[in-house]
Amino acid sequence: MKQGKFWKQAVIWVLFSLGLGGLATLLTRRGLAAFDALAKPPLTPPRIVFPIAWSVLLILIGLGYALARTRADSASQRDAATLAYAVQSVFFFCWMIWFFGLGLYCFAAVWLGGMIVSVLAMIRVYRRISALAAYLQVPYLLWCCFALYLNIGVCALN
């Protein structure tokens, strides 16, 4: 793998991932403000933690995908990595809409369960290509599990 090719891909996919998160945030601004008024479960971090955590995670997601794309040995591996990245991206984007944009807290919790499955599938696909690409997704998986706890708590309390 040429280092230049990786870094070019990394910049593209990190920016794309951050842009997707930014668009979701922009579309859910009103719901983000309403989130402050909700009853929340114990262990809910201060609101400032969320954009920081998601920004770091979106960077790792973009880096992992760039690594998988550039280290893929075949078109089928690259296609599998692209599909895994795309599916988890759709789950992420829609979860933001369901939870923050529309306030569908219980549905969002179920959706987040599907998102966790999509992240696990992405890790599995990436692992066949690059262990590092897969390991870069572990913080995302852990955060999604924590988010599921928070989401279920919001659903139950509101």
pLDDT tier for residue 34 given thresholds of 50, 70 and 90: confident
pLDDT interval class at 3 (50, 70, 90): confident
The CA distance from 156 to 39, in Å, is 9
The confidence band for 140, taking pLDDT boundaries of 50, 70 and 90, is: very high
pLDDT, tens digit, 9 for 90 and up, residues 53-103:
999 999 999 999 999 999 999 999 999 999 999 999 999 999 999 999 999
Dmax over CA atoms of the chain, in Å, equals: 51
pLDDT of 1 higher than 90:
no
Superfamily of domain 3-157: TspO/MBR protein (1.20.1260.100)
C-alpha distances out from residue 51 to 19, 24, 48, 103, 129, Å: 13, 12, 6, 19, 30
